[in-house]
Structure 1
Amino acid sequence: MAADLSTPIPQKGHPKALYLLFFTEMWERFSYYGMRGILILYLTKKYFEGGLAIDPAMASQIYGYFTGFVYFTPLIGGWLADRYLGQRLAITIGGLTMMVGQFTLFAINTHTGMYLGLLLLIIGNGFFKPNISTLVGRLYEAKDPRRDAAFSIFYMGINLGAFLAPLVIGQFTDNIFSVKDEAGNIVSYGYKWGFLASGIGMLLGQIIFNALAAKYLGTIGKAPVKTVAGGNNDAHHALAAQPVTKENKQQMTVIFILTAFVIFFWAGFEQAGSSLSLYTDKFINRQVGNFTIPTPWFQSVNPLFIIVLAPLFSIFWVSKLGQRLSTPVKMGLGMVLLGIGYFFMLGAIAQRGGDIQDETVKASLIWLVLTYLLHTIGELCLSPVGLSVVTKLAHPKYASLMMGVWMLATFIANIVGGYLAAFVEELGAKTIFTSISTAVIVLGLIMVALSKPISKMMHGVK
């Protein structure tokens, strides 16, 4: 796919539009991860603690369905953007809808308000998520080696927002709007204020994007692909008018193959917001001196590692060694590293003497940190690389739709992950974590083994 002619691409460095998309995505992720960091706690805490007093097993399923459908609706939003809206309008519709969803969670602290707010977030993300990622890909030629590096930079924007959000929201829930009970436990009544802060973050992102889009993006993403015949003359629209060849079909088939594998990666990875969060809240020693680390803050560990490590991966992917690794190999290694990360959670369980429910017996914090470190390295091998390759393999006519297909993996994975988290109470954390670890390591090795035939179907795309 060629870059859009309407935006000059510098010989070195990256176009300024990349950094506009970086900050737009940063604020959207601030909004999403801010509310995600407190969602399972909000659902399960008692009414007098500011929660909805939902059973943890049911709450885990609600969490799984929410985080799942957040990644299903991009399939619809991507299709609507390609056919009728254009990517930029879709991003604005999605951003404003998500903002209203956050404000609904803030204003209506009931089960009805919770379901309505989550529904709006699901719909809004469907418009926003696939289209901003597609815009990043449209800034570069298909074989431009900077593309993987650009997605690593863009991924830093995602994770800068994800890093800041739990820290800010954790202040609302565990410090500003909280008290300590007689046993010294934190009782929060600030969850709704956390949702308000998340909504304000979404509003800031939309202001930045709409104020600067025309200046830095030119006409990129303004018109839907359907209007090619109506006079759009950039390279993306010109290529979209070309027929879909047998080679194109094979390349897009690869997207479906990779999507099927990464379902299992995300099912394990997304335990961070459900079973790992609940385990941390109950069984990890969060005391550092006289300070108790708020549970939502641990949602910032993964994005902090991303921010630190992403520049190194960005450099590595454009090195000679990095360019020799095919996408299936990178992604397979990512899955193996996720599985290895769960070894450390098994270490935490062993330190506590097994799956005992005594909350006074705590495991060391280092086990959790090492788990997040390995998961982060695995994520950097898989997620930004996956986003990049989808924009390379998808025929321009179906660019946003194929991005929606890629996100379909996360939809299925989060629902599966929600059920896995729900079974922790019944089967025990050790059984669940061992099962996840074994499955992703085996599948990761299978992907590496199949890298050559998959790469052949990609027809030169790396």
Structure 2
Amino acid sequence: MDQQKSMDTAFFGQPRGLSTLFFTEMWERFSYYGMRAILLFYMFYAVEKGGLGMDETTAASVMSIYGSLVYLSGIVGGWLSDRVWGTRKTVFIGGVLIMFGHIALSLPFGLPALYASIALIVAGTGLLKPNVSDMVGSLYEEGDKRRDAGFSMFVFGINLGAAVAPWAVPWAAGGFGFHLFGSETNFHAGFSLAAIGMFFGLLQYWLDGKKYLSKDSLYPNDPIDRDGLKPIITWTVVAVIVVAVILGLLAAMGQLNITNVINLITVIAIALPIVYFIMMLNSAKVTKVERSRVKAYISLFIAAAIFWGIEESGSVVLALFAEQRTILHIGSWHFAAANFQTLNPLFIMLLTPFFVWLWSAWKNQPSAPAKFAAGMVIAGLSYMWMALPGIIHGTTSGRVSPFWLVGSWFIVEIAEMLISPIGLSVTTKLAPKAFQSQMMSMWFLANSAGQAVNAQIVKYYSADTEIQYFLIIGGVSVVFGIVMFFLVKKIHALMEGID
């Protein structure tokens, strides 16, 4: 099998299976980012404009907690792949759920369809997202020098789908450029295009997968037996009962509403990583050296959570700024507020080659904590930058140049280059052997926790509070980054020999 892997160069010198996974993930990201580009507007636009007429603050909180749930669900997806279904089946089931989630949104059934869609896409993304990357790694034998290049091509596919979607889906929602729906935006047409994108991804994955993906992916790596399944079922039932009791109590008190459900999810998203850290620090399976490394990771985790709270605001706070405060044309070229969502993946594609070269050429480069500290300062500056239009013009009631948003996204993506890939790498290095896979889940929980906090603080954003909002949150990130600079040596010492 290994010899076959090394001989397979059918996809630009890479294994043919990489093409299968490249296009599967490209279409999945197309569907997700396309849906995300217009979902906030769909929720708070008035009914006569094709939306749900939801309160703007509630809509922003729903968007944030949605993102939090997506990263929470990845923990379950990784476990089901390793212990029950195997990666290939898990990815396919996830893709089907995502497609049905987009189909639900494409139907004019209001809030019930929205909540059903969120549930389906959260579950589906949790199954698909963590396991596609694992399948890419399985295409290469140990020591294959093509591995890094293969992952680079795979990441390019992710960002390609994410970059195209914020143009294609709003274009469909706007009548495909022909104003087919009059002055009303037909969001359902846009969501339909997202569903079609996921369908193409599934079709390609199903047909190509049988030919070019490893048969090992059909089976779980560590299949669970009956004895191992019993405690999982018990704890799952207990968790469901606890949540049901809490929801029942809220209903009995007349407090069962979307705001309190968001509050409950926020508590879970913040509490879960705390429980994980306590469990690892007190486990007899963790050595003294490993415990020191986990302590070092706590500061990196907090930094990552703050960073992701800012970075992921592109589909929430910055989307509101794009809609309400930005001039949506440059000369005679007019565009939609949703189109700004393309800047995130676009800048990642542009900046990644430079940073790959930088880390390869820089001999005495900073340690991981120092890179995180710099990333925190830069991420904070991307928010403080957004306070400048209101400060300069002396008002937050008019519209400003779109280049303010372009600049903010460019700055925050520089920060992402310092935090995201470095964080993934250092997470694997600092993980205790007994918690190797759980530690990778912790990295995704940082994103979940950051967005859960966002779901609470986004309530304070409005045109009246714009300057204070950006300055305070950006300032928190900058201050945390500066504090980290002073603690770099101490954190690095706790890492016990890990660079």
1:312 shift after superposition:
1.9
Q: How does 1:223-372 map to 2 (within 5 A)?
A: 223-227=219-223, 246=287, 257-321=299-363, 324-356=365-397, 361-372=398-409
Separation in structure 2 between the aligned mates of residue 148 and residue 340 of structure 1, nearest angstrom: 31
Q: How many residues align?
A: 437
Matched, 1:95 2:95: yes
Partner of 2:222, secondary structure, is helix
1:90 shift after superposition:
1.9
Correspondence for 2:462 among 425, 433, 457: 425
- Equivalent residue, structure 2, for 1:233: none
**Residues 151, 388 of structure 1: 8 Å contact kept:** no
Partner of 1:355, secondary structure, is coil
Q: CA distance change for structure 1 residues 164 and 377 in 2, over 3 Å: closer, same or farther?
A: same
1:417 shift after superposition:
1.4
Root-mean-square deviation (Å): 3.6
**Residues 28, 205 of structure 1: 8 Å contact kept:** yes
User: Which segment is superposed worse, 310-319 or 130-139?
Assistant: 130-139
Give the unaligned 5+ runs of structure 1.
Answer: 230-242
User: Which segment is superposed worse, 267-276 or 114-123?
Assistant: 267-276
**Residues 138, 214 of structure 2: 8 Å contact kept:** no
Give the unaligned 5+ runs of structure 2.
Answer: 226-283
Partner of 1:172, secondary structure, is helix
1:102 shift after superposition:
0.5
1:445 shift after superposition:
3.1
After superposition, give the CA deviation of every residue in 1:197-236 in whole Å (9 maximum; x if it has no partner): 111222222333344446555255443232499xxxxxxx
**Residues 6, 141 of structure 2: 8 Å contact kept:** no
Separation in structure 2 between the aligned mates of residue 458 and residue 204 of structure 1, nearest angstrom: 45
Matched, 1:114 2:156: no
- Equivalent residue, structure 2, for 1:203: 199
Greater radius of gyration (CA): 2
- Equivalent residue, structure 2, for 1:434: 471
Separation in structure 2 between the aligned mates of residue 325 and residue 289 of structure 1, nearest angstrom: 43
- Equivalent residue, structure 2, for 1:386: 423
After superposition, give the CA deviation of every residue in 1:22-63 in whole Å (9 maximum; x if it has no partner): 433222111111011101100011112110000101111111
Identity %: 33
1:6 shift after superposition:
8.8
- Equivalent residue, structure 1, for 2:452: 415
- Equivalent residue, structure 2, for 1:377: 414
After superposition, give the CA deviation of every residue in 1:314-349 in whole Å (9 maximum; x if it has no partner): 23233344x733333333322221111123211222
Separation in structure 2 between the aligned mates of residue 386 and residue 148 of structure 1, nearest angstrom: 17
Q: CA distance change for structure 1 residues 143 and 265 in 2, over 3 Å: closer, same or farther?
A: farther
User: Which segment is superposed worse, 198-207 or 211-220?
Assistant: 211-220
**Residues 44, 53 of structure 2: 8 Å contact kept:** yes
Partner of 1:225, secondary structure, is coil
**Residues 151, 385 of structure 1: 8 Å contact kept:** no
After superposition, give the CA deviation of every residue in 1:158-208 in whole Å (9 maximum; x if it has no partner): 221111000101211235378599xxxx94432111111111222222333
- Equivalent residue, structure 1, for 2:187: 191
TM-score in terms of structure 1 length: 0.82
User: Which segment is superposed worse, 114-123 or 280-289?
Assistant: 280-289
Separation in structure 2 between the aligned mates of residue 174 and residue 199 of structure 1, nearest angstrom: 17
After superposition, give the CA deviation of every residue in 1:342-390 in whole Å (9 maximum; x if it has no partner): 232112222442333xxxx211122111111101111122223323443
Separation in structure 2 between the aligned mates of residue 69 and residue 304 of structure 1, nearest angstrom: 25
**Residues 155, 384 of structure 1: 8 Å contact kept:** no
TM-score in terms of structure 2 length: 0.77
Aligned AA (2:409): Y
Separation in structure 2 between the aligned mates of residue 103 and residue 324 of structure 1, nearest angstrom: 48
